[in-house]
Amino acid sequence: MKIQGLIKKIGCLVLSASMMCMASVSFSYAADDIAHDPSRDVQTEGVGNPFNYGERNTPADASTSEIRAINRAMSVQEVKYAMYKEIDEHWDLISVRLGQTEREMVYALFLGLGTRESTLGGNGDGADIETAFSQGFGVSSAHAYGTMQTAVTAFADCDPTFMKEDNVPEMYQYSFTESNFYDAIISNHMGIRKILHFIEIAINEDKLEGYQIVRGALKAFNTGWVTYTGENDGYYKNYPDEIISLARWYYEEGHLYDNVFSWTNDERVEKYRQGNVWEWWGDGVASMAPVDSQPTTSPEDENLLGDVNLDGAVDVADAVMLSASLLTEKELSAESAKNADIDLSHEIDCIDMLLIRKLII
């Protein structure tokens, strides 16, 4: 047996043994560390979904209270990576529409938006933030939820009197149900889609140019209207200009991947509010050029990472099956192998064992 293979077997044997006491041992993770593999080329590969988010953050059949409890338990770092997961999935589309080729600057932009709307869960509420709900579920067009405070208007099948947002065919548009509206990942997906909805209007209807396209789309995310209203208008200073200033703070100060967060009017950000705050964003041209992108499918069509035995859940039985496969080199079926490749590295190894342990705990 080759030395490398022997080392791999020994390592997996140790991990397998540790599974026996899994219920009483917490997963060791330094919250302020970078969660993704730091050797990744983020610009070309993205961060790689280190928290293994699926197309949903919560079970589709869970109650609203259960869904919200799961979202509330998210750390600031988890909230950040949940946003990056959606950005990475739609990177080609987002980079063309925003006119920005620097992936980490786009990450930062959405951190700025998430900070302006919710402080990224820094108050201990994770992604569980709800506003304008006093009239009942979905009655007000301002009723919003999640990191970006995505309003009900982003969803298909909401109140037909609301303005439709059906101009982003490249991204799946979820139906307006409580299960979808309150899910943190779907909320992020629909929030990004909502920004792209306003990008299209800024380009094709309002004929904005340069950074004013993204600036106008952010303004519209808050007000519903892209139309340019003048440099002295508080709509810009207090919303899109604050967002881009916050974004630059995360980017320049090195807080893209940790548990550190900012807030609206944070004095630490003041130096980034000076002069033309959009100069930092650069000279890219936002465009409606065709992008070879297919809408995200409904979550029911997605594989469940970690579900090695294909029973629809991730539990100790999956860990045992994966362990047995690694130790005996017994080949898994194609579908089981796809679910066992939790880190999406196209290789099933001890890293996947570690990740499945984390999922179960």
Each residue's pLDDT tens digit, 180-226: 999 999 999 999 999 999 999 999 999 999 999 999 999 999 999 99
306-340: b (≥16 Cβ within 10 Å) or e: bbbbeeeebeeebbebbbebbeeeeebeeebebbb
CB–CB of 193/168 below 8 Å?
Answer: yes
Residue 295's pLDDT is 63
Residue 4's pLDDT is 44
Residue 252's pLDDT is 98
Residue 32's pLDDT is 52
Inform me whether the pLDDT recorded for 40 exceeds 70: yes
Each residue's pLDDT tens digit, 328-338: 877 888 778 88
Residue 142's pLDDT is 97
Higher pLDDT, 288 or 359: 288
Cα-only R_g, the chain = 22
Residue 49's pLDDT is 96
Residue 361's pLDDT is 66
Residue 302's pLDDT is 54
Q: Which pair of tokens denotes residue 72?
A: 């509330």
Share of the chain above pLDDT 90, in %: 70
Query: 5-9, 53-57, 109-113: which has the minimum mean pLDDT?
Result: 5-9
Q: What's the mean pLDDT in 49-64?
A: 94
Give the C-alpha separation, 266 to 261, whole Å. Answer: 10
**Alpha helices (H) in the chain, listed in sequence order:** 3-19, 42-45, 64-72, 76-89, 91-98, 103-118, 178-181, 184-204, 212-223, 234-238, 240-252, 316-328, 334-340, 350-360
- Sheet containing strand 150-151, edge to edge, reads 130-131, 144-145, 150-151
* Cβ neighbours for 140, distance < 8 A, ≥ 6 positions apart: 132, 133, 134, 152
CB–CB of 215/243 below 8 Å?
Answer: no
- Mean pLDDT taken over the chain: 88
Which range, 21-30, 211-220, 292-301, is most confident? 211-220
Q: Which of 169, 141, 197, 146 is nearest to 293 (CA)?
A: 169
Share of the chain above pLDDT 70, in %: 88
Higher pLDDT, 321 or 6: 321
Inform me whether the pLDDT recorded for 314 exceeds 60: yes
Helix (H) or strand (E) holding 145, with range, is: strand 144-145
Inform me whether the pLDDT recorded for 63 exceeds 50: yes
Report residue 303's pLDDT band, with 50, 70 and 90 as the boundaries. low
Q: What's the mean pLDDT in 283-295?
A: 86
